[in-house]
Structure 1
């Protein structure tokens, strides 16, 4: 039987937050990462690998935001991408990830403690910046999704400005989320950014979004042909963050015996 996307069900239930606001507390993440070996938000690599391979070349320099205990960087490395830098705000996550990649012999993967709202990198130094579920945390106290709180917008824009700055010309920002286009587009399409925006959907039943923002080619491409968009309920973000039972059910349903 295949392993579920986390380390085990009982452990994942133990580390679940009492409220979605816990996701904004660094102490929650330190405690969680100290007890949880591995967990994947928004499906594992196999579900969107074909999209990664279309956009990330083996010689790409890649920055992953909010790596946590995800195996995304290791998956990229195993697919031939070896210039990878991972950051996370949690010192516990960083220490454990450093030990994990060293144990596997993936010496080229750099893991640093850093804040995605204040990226400690020079201008135009990465070909690809990728985040999976990290930006969603900024929205847990956003209020009305159609008119998010100014403080939320300010944080998201600060993140996007940093991403835009560190991307090389023609660099790509990949955002994997279940934030629907009608909520993400006003942020992604801010006049200060010089990137095109397109998206794909992936997943069975419940669809997630794979956004590709290419610097230096400003346009709104939209969803690529061939994808059937199944927009989830507007409350799904808060439901999934309030209770990770949705992910647990998904994992159980997908396990092959």
Structure 2
């Protein structure tokens, strides 16, 4: 998946937004969207979280981006010195268009592969860094009560996390950029069998996005334990462009579920 659009794009975020949040789970929706849409960045573009991501990157690292969509994150990482990048997306349309775009701009060193994030075709300990930006959040659009998600949702999320844990090298890092607050994500990230630490920071001028870092081989949490009480929803003070952005629609759906 991939809120900043180029000036040459004709579609607005609202033009391609689905009628219901559940449509985000439909691969056909993504094929139709990517066929019509040139570029869309979910959860801000690279410039907003570059300072958080750079400490985990090295020119020698192999990086996997899950759910690349039509994001330009891989291009930014390549220009930032990362030489070995693999992008995956479930949509064959997104993959083909990404391959064509990278070829047209002459950017080498990026492999784009069609793959399901619940069944990734890579061997164990293949990547130093795995990044997802908004992709895992899609699994929660019909999860029900966020304090007790539907078992089917939990099963899918755990399957994704198990796949990420498997392909990470020892001491590798999983970066998850999400709307999901720590009191919802930590019980999943800290599931049985995962040998990684869980830490997070926030970024964003309006509402906050969460930047999670899970370091394999370090089973501990660096942040304080979350309380058992349900926290109140943070107030949303958005910039004008965020009010017109599809991220706002997505966040509103999550907030409505949380308040019920």
TM-score (norm 1): 0.86
Paired position in structure 1 for 2:40? 39
Match of residue 199 from structure 1: 200
Deviations 1:45-101 (A, max 9, x none): 000001111111121100000000000000100101020000000000000000111
Alignment of 1:133-212 (within 5 A): 133-212=134-213
Cα displacement (A) at 1:107: 2.0
Q: Where does residue 62 of structure 1 map in the other structure?
A: 63
Q: Name the CA distance, whole Å, in 2 between partners of 1:9 and 1:141.
A: 30
Counterpart CA distance in 2 for 1:200 and 1:123 is 28
Per-residue CA deviation, residues 159-212 of structure 1 (Å, 9 max, x unaligned), is 000000000000000000110000000000112100001000001121100000
Equivalent residue number for residue 118 of structure 2? 117
In the alignment, the residues of structure 1 paired with residue 129 and residue 176 of structure 2 have an alpha-carbon distance, to the nearest angstrom, of 11
Assess, with a 3 A threshold, how the Cα gap between structure 1 residues 12 and 205 changes in structure 2: closer, same or farther.
closer
Find the aligned partners of 2:137 and 2:30 in 1 and give their Cα distance.
Answer: 15
CA contact (8 A) 1:62 1:83 kept: yes
Alpha-carbon distance in 2 for matches of 1:208, 1:9: 27
Q: 1:179 to 1:9 in 2, by over 3 A?
A: farther
SS at match of 2:221: strand
Corresponding residue of 2:130: 129
Q: Which runs of 5+ in 2 are unaligned?
A: 225-231, 237-241, 251-260
- Show the counterpart of 2:257: none
1:57 match: secondary structure: coil
Kindly provide the CA deviation profile for residues 121-162 of structure 1, in whole angstroms up to 9, marking residues without a partner as x: 000010000000000000001000000000000000000000
| CA contact 1:41–1:133 (8 Å) conserved in 2 | yes
> C-alpha distance in 2, partners of 1:121/1:5?
31
Q: Distance in 2 between matches of 1:33 and 1:178?
A: 23
Pairs aligned (count): 232
Q: Distance in 2 between matches of 1:136 and 1:60?
A: 26
192-201 vs 98-107, greater mean Cα deviation: 98-107
CA distance in 1, matches of 2:188, 2:10: 35
Give the corresponding residue for 1:16.
17
CA RMSD of aligned residues (A): 2.1
Deviations 1:103-130 (A, max 9, x none): 1212210000001100100000100000
Moved more, 104-113 or 144-153: 104-113
- Decide which moves more: 36-45 or 10-19: 10-19
Shift of 1:9: 6.6
Contact 2:43 2:247 in 1 (8 A): no
